Structure 1
Amino acid sequence: MTQSPATQLPPPKERRRLREAGSLTQAQVAARMGVRLETLQAWETGRTTPHGRRRREAYASLLAELATCAAERPVRTEDPPAPEEPDGTAPPLTPAQAFDALYAFCAPALVRQAYLLTGRRELARESVERAFQLAWQRWPEVAVDRDPAGWVRATAYEYALSPWHRFRPRYRHPEAPPADASDRALMDALLELPPPYRRTLLLYDGVGLDLPETAAETEASTPATANRLLHAREAIAARLPELSDPAELNRRLAELASTERLRAARPPTVRMGSERRARFWTRAAIAFTVALIGTTALTARTAPMRYEPPVAPGETVRGVPPPVAPGSLSEAEEALRERLREETVNGPMRLVPLGG
């Protein structure tokens, strides 16, 4: 039996992309479809598909609605949109337009995720901006990547979880916690987890990646990632028993991230910041090279032109009789003195050798 065209579903990765483009969490879509969170995760990873004609049509209709909203949403760029080609097809995007589209799609969610990782609002914004600045510097590489959003997400997570932030004066003191008591309890429980466990929990239960994708992004094996996820869930459930259900934990993570007013900078600002940083480091490298060349020339000018052997270290002189205090001569010394006096002759030399 063949399926009708109306019930065709997009690929699994496109399903997740459309949901994220619509700023919907997996828990919200699962509640709208009337299924469990694990079921929706299986749909988005391609492990299963909706069973039943009505449920399949409802899911396809939701995805089509999200695709329409994503297509109608304008993307702000510095450059005006290019006119269409004579044949009616849309021209390819410029690098700036493609970067701005990726930023508009990923940045808002990434700032909220970075806040859950660190518990710091300013550090979350800074992490996302630095990740996109690095992406703009390496745009030829990022543009052809199989998952540009994953590339930027991994970079932002690495920067946010860097241990060097603790030495910065502005990050030595904790920020103000969330206003709600339940949100504070959840944030405290998250921050008590080790960074790898916290990152694994956020990627799997917050972002909605499956286990192999989470393992690949955290650079760990699949069994190790599964153990981290289980231990993180157990630690959260021990502090907050009402969050022992993964679906409820996913919902609470989404609520905690959405209650904070976290806004990312505009795409042109990020691109200009990236270009300024690139110019600064380029000029710093040039200045360092010039200084190195000048130092080398000065050394070559002032260095000696011939070899000067080093001074040999001192050696201990042996066989010298120990000094004696002045006093009367012994019999042997008096005999030696008389002998020397008898052998003294006139002339420039005090002593002359005697013939044999």
Structure 2
Amino acid sequence: MSIGPNRSRPNSLKVRRRAVTSSQETITLAHGAGGGAMHSLIDDLFLSAFGDAPLLQKEDQARLPLAEFLARGDRLALTTDSFVVSPLEFPGGDIGKLAVCGTLNDLAVGGAIPLYLSAAFIIEEGLPLALLGRLVGSMAEAARQAGVTIVTGDTKVVERGMADKLFINTTGVGVIPMGLNLAIGSARPGDKVLVNGHVGDHGAAVMLAREDLGLVGELASDCASLHSLIHPVLAQCTGVRCLRDATRGGLGGVLSEMAGASAVEIRLCESDLPIRPQTRALCELLGLEPLFLANEGLAAMVICPEQAEQALALWRGHPLGRDACIVGEVTGSSSPGRLSLLTPYGGERLLEVPHGLQLPRIC
């Protein structure tokens, strides 16, 4: 979007900002038509929240200093994602925070230092402007906390019924430090599997917020940016093989991908899995498998056995890793792609990835 505040008219900017965040007003087609309403929305809502220097230049593209990339690493990392979660706000987060954290985590698990984001909004006519303001503000705060800059973007408005309130697309750019080569196909027999927190929190929290189940719980999404958790381990532990954030498909989904790509077997120990009692009870009630519930702040790490305890200690010293634990190991290569669960009674259960999503519209 060609966006930037009109700094020569601070008083009119302040008046319009109050107007576009009024709880009585909603998005109209005029807000996407290229005229005064659209420019007022961009200047007063988006730029008052984001306010990052490249946005203020009012160009049709972000112009980023090449020297910053060259000073940090030898490769660029680029990822893009779209977010359609319903409801837009849920315990522990909202679609704005989710759009930032989800994209930054895709960079971080590849070893990249995240630097920049783009943000594109598809807004349905009728969305309350006050709600949009809250979501944009949440997005801006998540970016600030993560130390990244939102440098370019776009807004589009569609008619009622053509979308579900708000969809957001974000693209992230980062730099991979020289010599760091993480790959999903690099797990080896004997490696340990670590996670930094509880399994299935995001999926369970969104489900409780969305569905009228008649249940009361204190579950909250684990939505968080993980690069401050991940990079100290990568800097000190050379034996990290691969990392993935457990989003759609959950922990079971990403470990199945790792097992298949590495042509190995992975076995989890059920008694070691950190699953909240509320999440477990909800899954038992609805016949769901918590290992395939989404997270938005959970990383799965495969690391050589010699450095597993060191990585675990580093994670436990970080606020996002206090509940980190070793949950399994890579056991062999005779059945490539196999993911199994060792039960507390000594039995073994094969974990198969569901054909479809257990819960749609989760991120």
Task: Please state which band the TM-score falls in when normalised by the shorter chain.
Answer: under 0.3
Q: Could you tell me the TM-score, scaled by structure 2's length?
A: 0.23
If each structure's strand is expressed as a fraction of its own residues, which one has the higher value?
A: 2
Greater relative contact order structure (CA < 8 Å, 6+ sep): 2
Larger fraction in helix: 1
Structure with the greater alpha carbon radius of gyration: 1
TM-score of the aligned structures, taking structure 1 as reference length: 0.23
